[in-house]
Amino acid sequence: QAPTSSCYTFSVTPGLCLSVAMLPPAAHLLRLLSLLLVIGIGDPAPTPQAPPPQGCYVAEEAGDRTFRCSQAGLSAVPTGIPNDTRKLYLDANQLATVPAGAFRHLPVLEELDLSHNALVHLSGAAFQGLEGTLRHLDLSANQLASVPVGAFVGMQIQVNLSANPWRCDCALQEVLRQVRLVPGTGTGIVCGPEARPDLVGQEFLLLTREEELCGTGRGGARRSTDVALLVTMGGWLALVVAYLIRYVRQNRDENRCPPKPKRAPVLALRSEDSSTLSTVV
């Protein structure tokens, strides 16, 4: 801009002018750049998203954003998964655990494959944030002996739990009441070495048809009621048996001791009768 009587006027934005004292050209330019930084002209550059780990890639499958990390040598859930991912494949890795909230940054995730890993532990909040979206979950071919009952609360999912060394306890029975199994995978839920010795190697679904493993809760309430009824009936039966025993003993004692003979009544004789008796004699 043209200089005024005592300063230069620079037009930074429409309607905004900055007046700077007369300075040499180089120093004046530095002062102007400092002012531009202070007033924050220009938007900061967006932070680039972390690239996917080696062996992972993003693809479009049937119109759904898919993130595949199959056989990528992962030992933990990777970062850099796009937020709009609908299908996530982490199968055939070395994952040993799934921590709480591991997938909560994926608000539209519908399908999750964790099969053929080394999972021995799932947090009770491992699938937190996926309650309204996740529909298919594959946990087959891992090292899971149990799953927290709260892991699937509020979820409407279909799961594959086959090929794991299950403990076959009440927790697993409660989990199976909350989820739907992938058709044809129920026969693969077999009791592992941590189960009761008499259950090892048996199909869990067949066991639950014959035995209630939960002492309380659903199914357990019925069992508790049956036990209480049996206890009550046993108490009444014990009272009846005790009464019969007492009755038999009492009759036996009475029969063992015969009653004493009764004495004939002695009649008192008056003096007149005794004199009459003497005369007759």
Give the per-residue pLDDT at 50: 66
- In Å, what is the CA distance from 83 to each residue of 49, 86, 119, 224? 11, 9, 24, 48
Give the per-residue pLDDT at 244: 85
Give the per-residue pLDDT at 72: 95
57-221 CATH fold: 3.80.10
Output 159-165 pairs: Cβ under 8 A, ≥24 positions apart. Answer: 160/115, 160/185, 161/185, 161/188, 161/189, 162/186, 162/187, 162/188, 162/189, 163/188, 164/139, 164/140, 164/189, 164/192, 165/192, 165/193, 165/194
Give the per-residue pLDDT at 36: 52
**Under 8 Å CB-to-CB from 181, ≥6 apart: which residues?**
158, 159, 160, 161, 189
Give the per-residue pLDDT at 140: 98
Length of the chain: 281
Give the per-residue pLDDT at 41: 45
Could you tell me the two tokens for 41? Answer: 């002209």
For the chain, list residues with pLDDT below 70: 1-50, 215-229, 254, 256-281
**Under 8 Å CB-to-CB from 42, ≥6 apart: which residues?**
none
Give the per-residue pLDDT at 221: 44
pLDDT tens across 255-274, in order? 766 655 555 555 554 545 54
Helix, strand counts (H, E) of the chain: 5, 13
Residue 65 pairs in a beta bridge with 60
pLDDT tens across 207-246, in order? 988 888 886 544 444 454 555 667 778 887 888 888 888 8
CA dihedral sign of residues 219, 225, 229, 234:
positive
- Its pTM stands at 0.61
From the list 176, 174, 189, 79, the residue with the least C-alpha distance to 142 is: 189
Identity of residue 65 = R
* Residue 182: φ, ψ to 5°: -60, 130
Give the per-residue pLDDT at 206: 93
